[in-house]
Amino acid sequence: MSTVALPPLADVLATARVVALPLAARFRGVETREALVFEGPEGWTEFSPFVEYADAEAATWLAGAIDYGWRASPAPVRDAVGVNATMPAVAASEVARILARFDGCRTVKVKVAEPGQHLADDVARVRAVREALGPEGRVRVDANAAWTVDEAERAVHALAEFDLEYVEQPCTEVDELAQLRERIAYLDIPIAADESVRKAADPLRVARSGAADLLVVKAQPLGGVHAAREIVAQAGLPVVVSSALDTSIGLSMGVALAASLPELDYDCGLATASLFTADVVASPLRAAGGFLSLERPRPTGAELDRVAAADDRRDWWIERLRRCYALLEVTRG
């Protein structure tokens, strides 16, 4: 697939701003989400690999950011995208407070297998979500590859009573997913692959191996909207388009991808702006009636100033961008 030509680094740096968004509840071990945003000819875009990711992996996120900023998005086939609420690994007593931040969402993805917690905590959290949604709502769980096969099997059995839509990335390795899928086949609970797609040298291996029933795809980590579309087309499995705890700018990249896909059978994990208490624009890209509209945020200088990161963090991100840009120059010859 063709890729957009790398713009001069100076053009990327000219509008680069580093932001720090506070979270309403601790998520993925962090309380503040940092990101670098910049403007291209097509509009604002985002570079936000998690801070622990090495440069080689982060460079793919930069390719995705450049793709979105310098290349026109595919034509949409729908004018709104259905989205799920995302439930951090909070106590069951906190579930109602978090759900109230997601307007009209009838699907909830619940984080489970949090370090330092136990299966009983997961069961209590998922039960609280199911009770809040009622029998018609959809509940999916995400373990972020934290379980062994045996632990995953035990957890799925414990959570099966809550009528799970699917279990996302229960184990790390593709062969582990395949083993678990065989063990729990009689429960008729699908397995979704996330890290096995976006962190894999071969993102299609999990589909070819028959290790998952559906794929979770994220535009930025896969190299952009166009690269992700190609992976979806080749995989031949249903997909959920999700975010990586992006700002509203990054979320709009995911919405552009989701809106362009011919088939979209599941609600997408793109409503995570509701987990922030501040964002890069005054009107964040949040769910309304369970849907996100197709809009591309255009932050003002004042809006970006309001969530600007500290100087030392800005310097860290700018240097990271420079290193990742250099890697892209090498890989693209």
Residues taking part in catalysis: 111, 218
Q: Which of 10, 35, 66, 69 is nearest to 331 (CA)?
A: 66
265 is in an annotated binding site: no
Q: Where are the alpha helices (DSSP H) in 261-310?
A: 301-306
Q: Backbone phi, then psi, for 273, in 5-degree steps?
A: -60, -25
**Exposed, middle or buried, 237 (CB in 10 Å: 0-12/13-18/19+)?**
middle
Q: Which of 31, 35, 40, 33 is nearest to 10 (CA)?
A: 40
Q: Which of 79, 60, 34 is nearest to 312 (CA)?
A: 34
Q: Which of 147, 150, 141 is nearest to 172 (CA)?
A: 147
142 is in an annotated binding site: yes
HSE at residue 51, side-chain half, CA atoms within 13 A, is 15
Burial code (b: 16+ CB inside 10 Å, e: under 16) for 168-202 equals bbbbbebebbbbbbeebeeeebbbbbbbbbbeeee
Beta-carbon contacts of 149 under 8 Å, excluding residues fewer than 6 positions away, are 171, 176, 179, 180, 183
Amino acid sitting at position 69: G
| Helix, coil or strand: residue 11 | helix
Type and span of the H or E element at 86? strand 85-87
Residues that constitute the known binding site: 142, 168, 194
Residues that constitute the known binding site for Mg(2+): 142, 168, 194
